Structure 1
Amino acid sequence: MIERILRDRQSIWQQIVDERELGQLTRHMLASSAIALALYGAVLGAFHSVLMALTSAVKLPLLFLVTLAICLPTLYLFNLVFGARLSVRQALAMVMVAITVTAMLAVAFAPISLFFLITAPDYGFFKLLNVAILTLSALVGLRFLTGGMQVLNEHGLLAPATPTLAAAPAAPAQAPVPAEVVPATPISAVPATTVPATPVPATAVPATSAVNGGAASTVVSAPLPPPPPMTTPAWDPASRPIFANAGPRPHHPPPRDGQRPASMTLLYIWIMLFGFVGTQLAWTLRPFFGSPNEGFALFRSIEGNFYAEILKTIANLF
């Protein structure tokens, strides 16, 4: 699944656009991400004990899935408010792509985390290292989410349906314009007065005279008589609409102004909301690493917050 997402992501986006077998696709991504997050969670809990490794292997997939369950309705309702035609299954599949990429990148960093666990078993450094790994993996996964949403926007799923497009085919059913309103007289059929041919008397051409010192010569002839007055062809003023209003003009779609739809703007707001909910939930489900100075505990008392703990850890480390 992760190989298909990374190598042929366009087929994933097209499958989501067409809503083809989204249930099977979502189940495969759910299984892949759960296994990957469980493996990485076991590495996190291995810092403390085997029992902590087992509980972290359960907590880490639960963290992402519960965060998804809390934030998915908000994403769907955001799209409904601004007229997007994204279904719940499509929104779920898009977010599961991001979670699957995050999980696979995290498990790819698991050997590095395990290496530092063996060679430098420092609690503060190990905690900051894995927080950085999860943050980087989540950023890449959310980048996939925004890329997929842009593809959905190109297919018109993030914009409301315009009624003008539906009414366009009904235009030919209108009553035809009478022939006398829009004349279709061709130019060739307009009578024109002929200009009588006036013979030009032949004049003798004198010898050429050198100009500019012989560098160039110009033939100077005797002045010709003034030409007769030219008569313009008779022009029917009614024939001018041939050029001005000769039927309906071809329709060209307006160029894109490059403005981002409201659904894309709300997507970035939703990503920030997803991050805040995820970090707070991770603080609620702690411990994942297990402090070496404390015994095993399934949950800790809720005190402080995630960001204050990270800043405190950085201060103690340096």
Structure 2
Amino acid sequence: MSGDRPSPLVIERILRDRQGIWQQIVAEGDLNALTGRMLASSAVALACYGAVLGAFHSPLMALTSALKLPLLFLVTLAICLPTLYLFNLVFGARLSVRQSLALVMVAITVTSMLAVAFAPISLFFLITAPDYGFFKLLNVAILTLSALVGLRFLTGGMQVLNDHGLLAPATSSAPAQATVPAGAVPATVPAGVVPAAVPAGSTGAAGAVAEPVAVPAGAAAGSTANGAAPDATTAAPAPGQVPAQWNGQPAGASFPPGMMPPGYPAAQRPFGTPPVRRGEPTQRPASMTLLYIWILLFGFVGTQLAWTLRPFFGDPDKDFSLFRSIDGNFYAEILRTIANL
């Protein structure tokens, strides 16, 4: 399925053509329409699942839960999205606000659609085993599982953006190169071969420098036939000439690869950049590390907001109330419910 042909259901396109979704977010192609469809789909799915949660108490509770559950996810997103966006900017990522919003909306859409897919199972246990504690834990487990799958999509999308270089600071694409001075010689020289010096500005017919000249193995390298030191005229070879004797070297010796004889210019590296080492692992950008921190922050904010907006289920032993007093916390209530089973 092509990314240019939208499916009637946005969740179907996300699940079947997720690479097309990531490419559309990378290219920022028609993100407003995509984000709007995901927002509408998530709101409808969460409203349906919220109605199932509130149906345990009364139809009025089902209506209020259908309104509060989409509000829970969207307000949590509004609180946490600026943190994700600014963290990425601080560490050099080049994500826009629309890209960040679309990426997080993919995760929320997957979460909401997976939750509403569990709605028939929740209704089944509501009818056959109407126990308040069990029903509450069952739906908390469903929402937790759905959220984990949605966050899996979020990390996968961020990895694709990282592969496209959107999570790393912009760098120059052209590598810096060091100019080779005129007359410079190759960095490595085989043993027994001396490159002839090339005067500045002189090249061959094809623009190449002079060919290396072989040195006989028996040539004297630093002394004359009678052992006397060479005079000043033979200490340094003239440009373009091969010395018959090299000062300080025994007869028959050859220079190691990369070492130049006296009188020749120092070897220059043809490139200013260090050699590339193959097989090194790619370093994880700071934006990916911050993503996991942001996911924890999103979870804590979401659970605290859910505790503030409760009840969603509605205790059958209590009268209907739109909100309850803020006391305790979400995690203590879950542990208490497990202990009472």
Name the TM tier (shorter chain). 0.7 to 0.9
The reply to whether residue 36 of structure 1 matches residue 40 of structure 2 is no
User: Is contact 2:52-2:122 (8 Å) kept?
Assistant: yes
Look up the match of 1:293.
317
How do 1:81-160 and structure 2 match up within 5 A? 81-160=90-169
Question: How far, CA to CA, are the matches of 2:273 and 2:92 in structure 1?
Answer: 29
Question: How far, CA to CA, are the matches of 1:289 and 1:124 in structure 2?
Answer: 10
Change (3 A) 1:152 1:305: same
Matched residue of 1:304: which SS? coil
User: Is contact 2:184-2:268 (8 Å) kept?
Assistant: no
RMSD: 2.9
Deviation at 1:313, TM superposition (A): 0.6
Look up the match of 1:225.
none
For structure 2, which runs of at least 5 residues remain unmatched after alignment? Answer: 1-9, 186-196, 198-208, 217-251
The reply to whether residue 57 of structure 1 matches residue 82 of structure 2 is no
How do 1:10-21 and structure 2 match up within 5 A? 10-21=19-30
Deviations 1:268-288 (A, max 9, x none): 111000000000000000110
Question: How far, CA to CA, are the matches of 1:248 and 1:141 in structure 2?
Answer: 47
Question: How far, CA to CA, are the matches of 1:17 and 1:253 in structure 2?
Answer: 28
Look up the match of 1:168.
175
The reply to whether residue 311 of structure 1 matches residue 338 of structure 2 is no
Matched residue of 1:168: which SS? coil
Deviation at 1:246, TM superposition (A): 7.9
Look up the match of 1:267.
291
Look up the match of 2:13.
4
Deviations 1:197-237 (A, max 9, x none): xxxxxxxxxxxxxxxxxxxxxxxxxxxxxxxxxxx9x99x7
Look up the match of 2:77.
68
Question: How far, CA to CA, are the matches of 2:214 and 2:337 in structure 1?
Answer: 96
Look up the match of 2:304.
280
Largest Rg, 1 or 2: 1
Change (3 A) 1:3 1:270: same
Question: How far, CA to CA, are the matches of 1:61 and 1:121 in structure 2?
Answer: 25
Change (3 A) 1:70 1:248: closer
- Amino acid of the structure 1 residue aligned with 2:292: Y
Change (3 A) 1:253 1:4: farther
Matched residue of 1:159: which SS? coil
The reply to whether residue 177 of structure 1 matches residue 184 of structure 2 is no
Matched residue of 2:29: which SS? coil
Question: How far, CA to CA, are the matches of 1:253 and 1:278 in structure 2?
Answer: 45
Look up the match of 1:201.
none
For structure 1, which runs of at least 5 residues remain unmatched after alignment? Answer: 194-231
Deviations 1:31-90 (A, max 9, x none): 111111111011101111111111111110000000000000111111111111111111
- Amino acid of the structure 1 residue aligned with 2:175: A
Deviations 1:242-262 (A, max 9, x none): xx7584499865554343211
Question: How far, CA to CA, are the matches of 1:130 and 1:249 in structure 2?
Answer: 61
Give the share of equivalent positions with the same residue, in percent: 75
- Amino acid of the structure 2 residue aligned with 1:257: P
The reply to whether residue 186 of structure 1 matches residue 211 of structure 2 is yes
Give the number of aligned pairs.
273
Question: How far, CA to CA, are the matches of 2:103 and 2:303 in structure 1?
Answer: 21
Question: How far, CA to CA, are the matches of 1:80 and 1:275 in structure 2?
Answer: 22
Question: How far, CA to CA, are the matches of 1:120 and 1:191 in structure 2?
Answer: 95
Greater relative contact order, per chain length (Cα 8 Å cut-off, separation 6+): 1
Deviation at 1:140, TM superposition (A): 0.7
Change (3 A) 1:63 1:253: farther
Normalised by the length of structure 2, the TM-score is 0.73
Normalised by the length of structure 1, the TM-score is 0.78
Look up the match of 1:228.
none
Q: When you count helix as a share of all residues, which structure comes out higher?
A: 1
